[in-house]
A = this chain, B = another copy of it.
Amino acid sequence: MDDPVLLTGAGGRVGQAILRYLGPDFEWRLLDREPLPDRKRPDGVADSDVFNADITDTGAVRAAMDGCGAVIHLAGDPRPEAPWDSVLRNNIDGTRTMFAAAVETGVGKFAFASSNHAVGAYETDTRKPDLYRPDDDYRLDGTELPRPSNLYGVSKAAGETIGRYYHDHHDISVVNVRIGNLTEDHPPVDYERGQAMWLSYRDCAHLFERCLLADYGCETVYGISDNDRKYYSIDRARDVLGYDPQDNSAEWNGDQRTG
């Protein structure tokens, strides 16, 4: 990836995980609705490559994207309990604005931050808590229809479908990453579900690096570490993207790494 990569929501948790590990490896354009302080920018990113803008602002999005080879689109309302009006505007309309600008400006690859909340209602009372346990073989693999946990999840599922549309009708590769439970340092403690969908910072960065470097058409993959507990398959991410996670929530006991 020689061309610049536009990262939206650069100041958020996922954005910062990506920049911590991949900061020196790509030429970044950073977009965030909030001003991005120096500590949140990798060394060497010029002020002219930092955009303080809303993703529903078509002109600002186009300007930030101009000349980019790829987009990692994380921006949006990240709250599972976000109200409809906010996810309609920020997550659905905003993602559509991003995709439209991407095809207009000739971006080749688009990685979209979807969410486990797009499929949260598969965690039915009859499957819980068994599906969170290492000996349970229930798996979602990305081919299943959405079953959102909440309206935020509805908006993420809609974003995936928008990506599918732009891939099918334009020359752009699209990958939807249904991100699990990203935490800095150790996995969630005393929370089986969180351990089952844990994604470490370095695995997160590596997964998005693969989204930038691999060849694919249109994919929906799960973004979790290689946890013993899991109900999301990472086979597709391994096979198509070359994802090779290094972490496993089972290797932590409380806040100590055991593996």
Q: Footprint of B on A, CB under 8 Å?
A: 84, 88, 92-93, 96, 100, 121, 143, 145-148, 150-151, 153-154, 157-158, 161-162, 164-165, 168-169, 220
Supply 8 A–B pairs (Cβ within 8 Å), ascending by A: A84-B96, A92-B92, A121-B165, A145-B220, A146-B161, A147-B165, A147-B168, A157-B158
B92 in contact with A169 (CB, 8 Å): no
Q: Which residues of chain B come closer than 8 Å to A153, judged between CB atoms? A: 165
Indicate whether A151 sits within 8 Å of B164 (C-beta atoms), given known contacts A92-B92, A158-B158: no
Query: Which chain B residues lie closer than 8 Å to A168 at the CB level?
Result: 121, 147-148
Give A93 to B86 CA distance when docked, in angstroms: 12
CB distance A164 to B148 under 8 Å? yes
The binding surface of chain A is classed by DSSP as: helix
Alpha-carbon distance between A17 and B46 when the two chains are bound, in angstroms: 62
Identical chains in the assembly: 2
Q: A143-B145, A158-B161 are in contact. List 20 more A-B contacts (CB 8 A).
A: A84-B96, A84-B100, A88-B88, A88-B96, A96-B151, A121-B165, A145-B161, A146-B161, A146-B164, A147-B164, A148-B161, A148-B164, A148-B165, A150-B165, A151-B165, A154-B161, A157-B158, A157-B161, A158-B158, A161-B161
| B121 A169 Cβ-Cβ under 8 A | yes
Q: Which 6 A-B pairs have the closest CB atoms?
A: A121-B168, A158-B158, A148-B165, A157-B161, A146-B161, A154-B165
User: How many whole Å from A157's CB to the nearest CB in chain B?
Assistant: 5
List B contacts of A220 (CB < 8 A). Answer: 145
Q: A154, B162: Cβ atoms under 8 Å?
A: yes
Residues of B with C-beta under 8 A to A143 = 145
Q: Which of A84, A145, A151: most chain B CB closer than 10 A?
A: A145
Find chain B residues with CB under 8 A from A161 CB: 145-146, 148, 154, 157-158, 161
Q: A92-B88, A154-B161 are in contact. Are A145 and B147 (CB under 8 A)?
A: no
Q: How far is the CA of A150 from the CA of B100 in the complex (A)?
A: 13
